[in-house]
Amino acid sequence: MLASTMKKPRSTTSHPPTHPHQRRSP
């Protein structure tokens, strides 16, 4: 699972879309 994110960094950006969103909320 971790290796998948390292190989596909684009997939990680699609996954953590709430991280930056929560930062803008507060």
What pLDDT does residue 23 have? 60
Instruction: Give the H or E element holding residue 16.
Output: none
Q: What is the pLDDT of residue 4?
A: 57
15-23 contacts: CB < 8 A, separation 24 or more? none
CA distance 11 to 1: 12
pLDDT at 6: 59
The residue type at 5 = T
Q: What is the pLDDT of residues 1-26, one digit of tens each?
A: 566 555 655 555 555 556 555 566 55
Q: What is the pLDDT of residue 7?
A: 63
Identity of residue 18: T
